[in-house]
């Protein structure tokens, strides 16, 4: 098929007619499908059911140093969990704090602590007139939700396949002391699936921020979430790189097992420098006596070590890889050559990022919804939910069963085509 | 024996000599005992080991409404956990939010949210010059730790066997709009073991605070933690009483299963009015996608219902009651009649509160420590760790094995006597 833009008005009208008919067929199906959130599917969760057996009533619930995990204490987490998560994050166990079930909660608390008490002796953010964060776009809506909640001004920075626009990041960060942070999903990014190049990470580690309390919020949510065995992105480890560059305290690095074991019942972690750890633990000891150590122990006993976790992730990939490929194939078959959209083909993570013609994303998502398929809201990938081009849509292929996913992806393609045709016909009318 | 104060100098000297000898015997034993924290002992934890079996790999991890507890979501907790905890807290399940493993964390977050964003539309506390909290004394050190961390001025309010001095509370709260809260452990209080009388609770519910965002921080940590079957304190339910009194939004009520199942791996909860819930959930949805639902389900499947939990608490009582009684008996045998200390005999909770002669508490704790017994630091039960009388000491009898506990209590009694004699001899010297 030829690009829509090269079609005559008559051809477009005929195409619109055809697409409308098809769309009505989908509406008649009364679908109730959900491609909105990056949730593991049932089969993925089933992979971790063995975790429910490793600690039974006969189990010894003491950890290696003899501490009874059932009781109070051990603020920063049990050692063997730090070793396991250290291997997962590629960090020294001594630089790791193990938390509860949610890395989002850790990020929120990190911003909240900076707001109420400041970072390492610097002025609390609540005492400053203006705080700004850089936000690579498209990005993760829940990151932006935290900074918005604290009234922090968010500045979008364009993403490319090698990471954020580092010229822009370097200039802004070195000039403006009110810029206190940047949200990063450095590997298999949400939603593009892009991984930061070696050069990008090196430039991050060598930033010269005007603010002494500037921190990189490095959410390595998909560090070991590869889709392929033979094709994997590699990410330079940021803590080590910052240390080498003489910026040891510049990074908070987050991760969790939410998309490894159970999203609701995993363990979250933060890796950072000794100075930052001291700063954080001084607050944490006021906030809690300690996180759930039995669940930490459960994870360690289940995986044994990083090899166990790696093998586990291979099984996860086997379940979701066909879903990514199915969506990509449907998009290919339906949209290639029409010049009405581009999409990413990630090697890992949980999302495909789709860019429509400018001004079409909201309408595409609305059309999908009217036919029973829920997508992530258009605009969600931008700060304040404002995508200036109204073009980016996040596709989350993991949760629906394959059969549903195929239907949803086909309907989505149809909506892209229909909205694009309408848009082009509208433009013609305006031009007439 | 006659009261120390009635002894002659010679009698006191002889007593001192005898006590010193005895003290040296304890020192020679090289004890390493801990009566410092309110931690359940191993036998108590063993009572909940069945909880490790109720969810195995064959279990259905969906809750009653069909939600897969393993996955993301359900911000305020699963319904059946709200029912169980609602019965435990004597509140409507609809007024309950289930959290992670730590009610201290919930309290911290509640203060932190008020500090950063204000309560129900009121000015955030960080934007006000002065914030004050009332602190019934002696009280819980970790409560005071939270308010101290946020720079909140703490005003001590004396406790009596019926609760805080309500004349003082009413006057202060109605006059000073900078007083934003009061820390309460209303039942089997930490450390006195006192429970608030009906009149006290009614007067709390009828407070007329000058600050619209004044809240009672009602930490009902020991609501079902009775020591006796036949003698139990009864506490009027504060939410219902506040609603009746026309103050429905004035209370945040906290509880947890930390001292019911596992301190490190229980579930915490907050009960409050619909207005407060709406206010809190608006923030929580930015902070997390949800707490650990599998652990919520585990608790529900283990206890089944409140009757199961009540029976469980009876077994807990059977383990710790003899410990309380042993300590009380040793104090009785050693100190009664000497007029050098008073102590509480609680019907529940985790602590005995001891008051020495003024100016002796620090020295008593130091003496115990030098002979190998760690007590809670003297002063810990007061804001800023400053007990103006230097007389209150918290005794935590639950954790040590009985044999250790007996030794520790005997040594403690000895230290009380020794320090008191020294004090009285010192006073005589000063008077000479």
Among A residues 285-324, those touching chain B with beta carbons less than 8 Å apart: 286-295
Residues A75 and A163 in one domain: yes
A49, part of any domain: no
The per-residue pLDDT for range A129-168, each reduced to its tens digit, is 999 999 999 999 999 999 999 999 999 999 999 999 999 9
How confident is the model over A98-105, as a mean pLDDT?
98
Residues B31 and B72 in one domain: no
- Say which residue the tokens 């000058």 belong to: B210
- The Cα–Cα gap between A87 and A92 comes to 8
> Could you give phi then psi for residue B300, rounded to 5 degrees?
-65, -45
Could you tell me if B385 lies within 8 Å of chain A, comparing CB atoms? no
Residues A74 and A218 in one domain: yes
Instruction: Give the torsion through C-alpha atoms of A381, A386, A391, A395, to 10 deg.
Output: 30
- The Cα–Cα gap between A408 and A395 comes to 10
- The Cα–Cα gap between A262 and B59 comes to 15
Which pLDDT value is given to residue A244?
Answer: 98
Q: Pick the residue from chain A with its C-alpha nearest to B51.
A: A57
Domain containing B281 equals 65-303
pLDDT confidence tier of residue B432, bands split at 50, 70 and 90: low
Strands B268-271 and A215-219: unpaired
pLDDT confidence tier of residue B202, bands split at 50, 70 and 90: very high
Residues A157 and A251 in one domain: yes
Among B residues 228-267, those touching chain A with beta carbons less than 8 Å apart: 258, 262-265
Last residue of a domain, one of A303, A319, A348: A303
- DSSP-assigned states of every residue in A171-238: HHHHH-TTEEEEEE--SS-TTT-----HHHHHHHHT---SSTT-EEEEE-TTTT-BS-SS-------H
Residues A283 and A394 in one domain: no
- The Cα–Cα gap between B116 and B113 comes to 5
- Which of A54, A70, A118 is best to mutate for the B interface (most B CBs within 10 A)? A70
Residue A226, preceding peptide bond in cis (omega within 30° of 0): no
Which 3 state secondary structure label does DSSP give A25?
A: helix
Distance from CA of B146 to the nearest CA of A (A): 6
Strands B96-98 and B268-271: antiparallel
CA contacts within 13 A on the Cβ side of B41: 23
Which 3 state secondary structure label does DSSP give A10?
A: helix
Q: Please tell me chain A's helix, strand, coil percentages from 3-state DSSP, rounded to the nearest 5.
A: 45, 15, 40
Nearest to B256 by CA among B272, B271, B269: B269
The per-residue pLDDT for range B305-362, each reduced to its tens digit, is 999 999 999 999 999 999 999 999 999 999 999 999 999 999 999 999 999 999 999 9
First-to-last alpha carbon distance for chain A, in angstroms, is: 26
> Could you give phi then psi for residue B163, rounded to 5 degrees?
120, -170
The alpha carbons of chain B give a radius of gyration, in whole angstroms, of 23
B145 CB neighbours in chain A (<8 A) are: 286
B56 CB neighbours in chain A (<8 A) are: 52-53, 56
Which 3 state secondary structure label does DSSP give A396?
A: coil
B52 CB neighbours in chain A (<8 A) are: 55-57, 59, 61
Closest Cβ–Cβ partner in B264, B289, B291 for A71 = B264
**B102–A263: do the CB atoms touch at under 8 Å?**
no
How confident is the model over A393-421, as a mean pLDDT?
97
> Could you give phi then psi for residue B103, rounded to 5 degrees?
-70, -25
Which pLDDT value is given to residue B431?
Answer: 64
Which pLDDT value is given to residue A432?
Answer: 57
Taking the mean position of all CA atoms in its chain, how far away is CA A176?
A: 27
Nearest to A186 by CA among A219, A161, A155: A219
Looking at the DSSP bridge assignments, the partners of residue B137 are B158
- The Cα–Cα gap between A63 and A85 comes to 15
Nearest to B162 by CA among B138, B141, B143, B187: B187
Which pLDDT value is given to residue A431?
Answer: 64
Q: Pick the residue from chain B with its C-alpha nearest to A109.
A: B287
Could you tell me if A200 lies within 8 Å of chain B, comparing CB atoms? no
Closest Cβ–Cβ partner in B50, B57, B146 for A286 = B146
A219, part of any domain: yes
A49 CB neighbours in chain B (<8 A) are: 57
A295 CB neighbours in chain B (<8 A) are: 265, 292, 295
Residues B95 and B223 in one domain: yes
- Predicted ipTM > 0.95: yes
Residues B261 and B314 in one domain: no
Non-local CB neighbours of B326 within 8 Å, separated by 6+ positions: B397, B402, B405, B406, B409
A45 CB neighbours in chain B (<8 A) are: 68, 70-71
What CATH number is associated with residue A414?
3.90.1150.10
Could you tell me if B128 lies within 8 Å of chain A, comparing CB atoms? no
How confident is the model over A195-212, as a mean pLDDT?
98
B283 CB neighbours in chain A (<8 A) are: 149
Which pLDDT value is given to residue A37?
Answer: 87
Given a contact cutoff of 8 angstroms between Cβ atoms, the answer to whether A99 and A110 are in contact is: no
B39 CB neighbours in chain A (<8 A) are: 71-72
Could you tell me if B37 lies within 8 Å of chain A, comparing CB atoms? yes
Looking at the DSSP bridge assignments, the partners of residue B252 are B217
Which pLDDT value is given to residue B1?
Answer: 78
A265 CB neighbours in chain B (<8 A) are: 69-70, 292-295
Residues B360 and B409 in one domain: yes
- The Cα–Cα gap between A413 and A373 comes to 12
Non-local CB neighbours of A7 within 8 Å, separated by 6+ positions: A15, A424
A105 CB neighbours in chain B (<8 A) are: 287-288
Last residue of a domain, one of A238, A269, A303: A303
Residues B263 and B168 in one domain: yes
Which pLDDT value is given to residue B403?
Answer: 96
Nearest to A421 by CA among A341, A348, A354, A343: A341
Given a contact cutoff of 8 angstroms between Cβ atoms, the answer to whether B242 and B202 are in contact is: no
How confident is the model over A243-266, as a mean pLDDT?
98
Could you tell me if B344 lies within 8 Å of chain A, comparing CB atoms? no
Residues A164 and A84 in one domain: yes
Residues A418 and A357 in one domain: yes
Q: Pick the residue from chain B with its C-alpha nearest to A51.
A: B57
Which pLDDT value is given to residue A428?
Answer: 74
A50, part of any domain: no
The per-residue pLDDT for range B353-388, each reduced to its tens digit, is 999 999 999 999 999 999 999 999 999 999 999 999
**A265–B69: do the CB atoms touch at under 8 Å?**
yes
Buried b (16+ CB within 10 A) or exposed e, B177-194: bbbbbbbbbbbbbbbbbb
Number of residues that make up chain A: 432
**B126–A145: do the CB atoms touch at under 8 Å?**
no
Could you tell me if A123 lies within 8 Å of chain B, comparing CB atoms? no
Q: Pick the residue from chain A with its C-alpha nearest to B142.
A: A286
The alpha carbons of chain A give a radius of gyration, in whole angstroms, of 23
Q: How many domains does chain A contain in total?
A: 2
Distance from CA of B245 to the nearest CA of A (A): 32
Residue B242, preceding peptide bond in cis (omega within 30° of 0): no
- The Cα–Cα gap between B117 and B126 comes to 8
Residues B86 and B218 in one domain: yes
pLDDT confidence tier of residue A427, bands split at 50, 70 and 90: confident
Q: Pick the residue from chain A with its C-alpha nearest to B102.
A: A288
Last residue of a domain, one of B278, B303, B328: B303
A106 CB neighbours in chain B (<8 A) are: none
**A72–B145: do the CB atoms touch at under 8 Å?**
no
- The Cα–Cα gap between A87 and A313 comes to 14
B60, part of any domain: no
B27, part of any domain: yes
Among A residues 45-84, those touching chain B with beta carbons less than 8 Å apart: 45, 48-50, 52-53, 55-57, 59, 61, 68-74
Closest Cβ–Cβ partner in B69, B101, B293 for A291 = B101
- SS3 of chain B: CCCHHHCCHHHHHHHHHHHHHHHHHHHHCCCCEEECCCCCCHHHHHCCHHHHCCCCCCCCCECCCCCECCCCCCCCCCHHHHHHHHHHHCCCHHHEEECCCCHHHHHHHHHHHHHHHCCCCCCCHHHCCCCEEEEEECCCHHHHHHHHHCCCEEEEEEEECCEECHHHHHHHHHHCCCEEEEEECCCCCCCCCCCCCHHHHHHHHCCCCCCCCCEEEEECCCCCCECCCCCCCCCCCHHHHHHHCCCCCCEEEEEECCCCCCCCCCCEEEECCHHHHHHHHHHHHHHCCCCCHHHHHHHHHHHCCHHHHHHHHHHHHHHHHHHHHHHHHHHHHHHCCCCCEEECCCCECCCEEEEECCCCHHHHHHHHHHCCEEECCCCCCCHHHCCCCCCEEEECCCCCCHHHHHHHHHHHHHHHHHHHHHHHHHHHHHHC
B407, part of any domain: yes
A55, part of any domain: no
What CATH number is associated with residue A70?
3.40.640.10
B68 CB neighbours in chain A (<8 A) are: 42, 45
Buried b (16+ CB within 10 A) or exposed e, B200-225: bbbbbbbbebebebbbbbbbbbbbbb
- The Cα–Cα gap between B122 and B397 comes to 43
**B150–A70: do the CB atoms touch at under 8 Å?**
no
Closest Cβ–Cβ partner in A104, A150, A265 for B292 = A265
B329, part of any domain: yes
């Amino acid at each position: 098929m030829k690009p829509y833009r090269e079609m005559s008005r008559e051809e477009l009208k005929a195409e619109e007619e055809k697409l409308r008919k098809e769309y009505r067929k989908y509406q008649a199906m009364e679908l109730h499908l959900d491609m909105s959130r990056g949730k593991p599917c049932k089969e993925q969760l089933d992979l971790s059911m063995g975790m429910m057996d490793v600690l039974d009533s006969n189990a010894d619930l003491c950890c290696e140093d003899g501490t009874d995990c059932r009781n109070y204490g051990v603020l920063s987490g049990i050692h063997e969990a730090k070793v396991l998560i250290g291997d997962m994050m590629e960090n020294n166990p001594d630089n790791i704090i193990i938390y509860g079930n949610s890395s989002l909660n850790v990020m929120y608390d990190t911003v909240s602590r900076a707001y109420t008490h400041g970072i390492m002796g610097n002025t609390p953010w609540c005492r400053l007139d203006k705080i700004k964060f850089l936000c690579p776009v498209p990005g993760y809506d829940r990151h932006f939700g935290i900074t918005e909640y604290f009234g922090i001004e968010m500045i979008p920075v364009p993403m490319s396949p090698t990471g954020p626009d580092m010229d822009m990041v370097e200039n802004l960060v070195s000039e403006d002391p009110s810029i206190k942070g940047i949200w990063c999903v450095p590997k298999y990014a949400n939603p593009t699936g892009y991984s930061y190049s070696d050069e990008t990470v090196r430039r991050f580690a060598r930033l010269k921020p005007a603010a002494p309390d500037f921190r990189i919020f490095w959410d390595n949510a998909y560090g070991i979430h590869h889709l392929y065995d033979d094709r994997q992105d590699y990410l330079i480890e940021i803590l080590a790189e910052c240390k080498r560059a003489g910026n040891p305290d510049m990074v908070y690095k987050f991760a969790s097992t939410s998309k490894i074991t159970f999203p609701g019942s995993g363990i979250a972690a933060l890796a950072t420098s000794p100075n930052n750890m001291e700063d954080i633990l001084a607050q944490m000891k006021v906030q809690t006596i300690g996180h759930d150590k039995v669940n930490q122990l459960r994870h360690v006993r289940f995986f044994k070590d990083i090899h166990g976790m790696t093998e586990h992730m291979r099984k996860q990939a086997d379940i979701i890889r066909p879903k990514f490929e199915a969506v990509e194939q449907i998009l290919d078959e339906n949209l290639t050559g029409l010049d009405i959209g581009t999409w990413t083909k990630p090697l890992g993570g949980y999302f495909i990022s789709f860019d429509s013609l400018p001004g079409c994303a909201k309408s595409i998502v609305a059309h999908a919804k009217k036919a029973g398929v829920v997508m992530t809201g258009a605009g969600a990938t931008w700060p304040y939910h404002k995508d200036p081009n109204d073009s980016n849509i996040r596709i989350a292929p993991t949760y629906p069963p394959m059969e549903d996913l195929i239907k949803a992806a086909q309907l989505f393609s149809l909506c892209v085509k229909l909205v694009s045709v309408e848009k082009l016909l509208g433009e013609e009318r305006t031009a007439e």
